């Protein structure tokens, strides 16, 4: 899936005919507020990867986003956003996870993976010298997994699924900077996803833009097979290259 998505992103550069392409490359450091899990839901033991174990720092990440803008107000984006976080520590209590009970005081190694693949269409419905405001839709495919292991046992729960999201963008021109908010999100009775950016972009030259932002990701699902909700914080630094 990763190779296919990257192939789609970069092969798009070969079809530069009408409109403008951009490549957004960013990354930085990630932190957490919580990462709660109970697998299977109800029968498993509720625990918090972040609070019950020690996160193996620093957690670094990167994002790749290919953009295509046409007819002034229309934008298409393809995003690849992988993330893996490792934890380690003695189990604070017996933890039933999948088909195994990890005993209290056993040294546990854990990994949380959440790779996101997204396709977004946005249309700017308001544009002036100072403001750009747009709304759209995002289709997200997630490739997620939680894994616990000790010396003789490995258990994991993988999840691969699709979720439609609303997309919102607002940008304000302030001297040489563009202050912006951008986000994808949706919530229903069993799951929610919010991925929000707040930051600034500065034009370096005709083709290059520098960006810096705070990113917040929160969400998860509460279904029969799995309960997992996490909140993550990101320091985001990157460049946008226009073609």
Q: What is the CATH number of the domain that holds 177?
A: 2.40.128.90
Cβ pair 155, 97 in contact under 8 A: yes
- Half-sphere exposure of residue 232: CA atoms within 13 angstroms, side-chain side: 26
With a cut of 90, say whether residue 13 has pLDDT above it. Answer: no
Question: The tokens 């607002």 sit on which residue?
Answer: 170
Containing H/E element for 59? strand 59-70
With bands split at pLDDT 50, 70 and 90, how would you rate the model's confidence at 7? low
Total structural domains in the chain? 1
With a cut of 80, say whether residue 4 has pLDDT above it. Answer: no
Strands 47-48 and 20-38: antiparallel
Counting residues of the chain whose pLDDT is more than 90, the rounded percentage is 85
Phi, psi (deg, nearest 5) at residue 44: -80, 170
DSSP, res 42: T
Cβ pair 210, 201 in contact under 8 A: yes
Taking the C-alpha atoms of 192, 193, 194 and 195 in order, what is their torsion angle to the nearest 10 degrees? Answer: 170
With a cut of 80, say whether residue 15 has pLDDT above it. Answer: no
Domain of 168? Answer: 2-14+21-242
- CA-closest candidate to residue 46, choices 231, 233, 222: 222
State mean pLDDT over 217-221: 96
pTM of the model as a whole: 0.88
Counting residues of the chain whose pLDDT is more than 70, the rounded percentage is 92
Cβ pair 19, 68 in contact under 8 A: yes
Query: How many residues make up the chain in this entry?
Result: 243
With a cut of 70, say whether residue 166 has pLDDT above it. Answer: yes
- Across the strands, what pairs with 209? 203, 240
With bands split at pLDDT 50, 70 and 90, how would you rate the model's confidence at 9? low
Q: Which residues of 138-165 are buried (b: 16+ CB within 10 A; e: fewer)?
A: bebebbbebbbbeeeeebebebeeebeb
């Amino acid at each position: 899936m990763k190779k296919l998505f990257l192939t789609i992103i970069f092969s798009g550069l070969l079809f530069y005919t009408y409109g403008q392409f951009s490549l957004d490359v960013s990354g930085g450091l990630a932190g957490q507020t919580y990462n709660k899990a109970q697998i299977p839901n109800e029968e498993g033991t509720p625990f918090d990867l972040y609070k019950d174990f020690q996160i193996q720092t620093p957690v670094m990440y990167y994002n790749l986003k290919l953009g295509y803008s046409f007819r002034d107000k229309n934008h298409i984006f393809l995003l690849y956003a992988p993330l893996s976080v490792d934890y380690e520590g003695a189990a604070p209590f017996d933890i039933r996870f999948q088909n195994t009970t990890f005993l209290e005081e056993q040294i546990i190694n854990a990994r949380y993976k959440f790779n996101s693949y997204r396709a977004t269409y946005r249309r700017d419905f308001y544009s002036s010298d100072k403001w750009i405001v747009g709304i759209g839709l995002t289709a997200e495919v997630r490739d997620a997994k939680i894994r616990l292991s000790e010396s003789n046992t490995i258990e994991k729960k993988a999840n691969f699924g699709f979720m439609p999201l609303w997309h919102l963008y607002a940008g304000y021109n302030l001297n040489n900077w563009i202050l912006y908010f951008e986000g994808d999100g949706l919530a229903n009775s069993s799951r929610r996803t919010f991925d929000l950016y707040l930051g600034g972009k500065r034009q370096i030259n005709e083709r290059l833009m520098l960006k810096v932002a705070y990113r917040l990701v929160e969400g998860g699902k509460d279904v029969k097979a799995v309960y997992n909700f996490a909140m993550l914080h990101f320091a985001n630094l990157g460049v946008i290259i226009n073609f």
